[in-house]
């Protein structure tokens, strides 16, 4: 079993990932809550045409849409060797140690390799707030 840390609001707690065979590992539950508030404002009233058909009025719809309302940072993917979202284990392996030794400037090599391990798809997106207006006619 491998430990991963996930954070919900200011609270962080360890999550256990079950190791298994090929495609046998499991990630923790993914939880996300979205909310949308909207309000219609009628600019013209509905009317009836000369043929008796109902004619839709012109309306303005204002909305606020919040994605990931609780701002939970869920783990969506990990590297198989380490079980972490930010480290694939190459730098600690023997071939990684040889690559570091053969580089011209080791700290720069390590920093750039660690930067390349940042995978934005490994955790879900933070809270996003969208504000908009729809014009209906």
Give me the pLDDT at residue 29, please. 78
* Tens-digit pLDDT profile for residues 105-115: 999 999 999 89
The pTM (predicted TM-score) of the whole model is: 0.61
* Tens-digit pLDDT profile for residues 62-80: 999 999 999 988 888 888 7
Give me the pLDDT at residue 9, please. 44
Tokens at residue 16, please? Answer: 């256990």
């Amino acid at each position: 079993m491998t430990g991963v840390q996930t954070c919900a609001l200011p609270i962080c707690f360890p999550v256990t990932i079950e190791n298994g065979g090929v495609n046998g590992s499991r990630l923790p539950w993914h939880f996300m809550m979205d909310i949308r508030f909207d309000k219609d404002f009628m600019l013209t009233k509905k009317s009836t045409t000369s043929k008796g058909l109902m004619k839709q009025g012109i309306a303005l719809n204002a909305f606020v849409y919040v994605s990931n309302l609780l701002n939970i940072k869920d783990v969506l993917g990990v590297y198989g060797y380490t079980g972490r979202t930010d480290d694939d284990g190459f730098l600690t392996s023997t071939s990684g140690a040889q690559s570091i030794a053969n580089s011209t400037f080791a700290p720069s090599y390590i920093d750039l390799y660690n930067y390349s391990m940042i995978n934005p798809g490994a955790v879900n997106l933070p809270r996003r707030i969208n504000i908009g207006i729809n014009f209906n006619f």
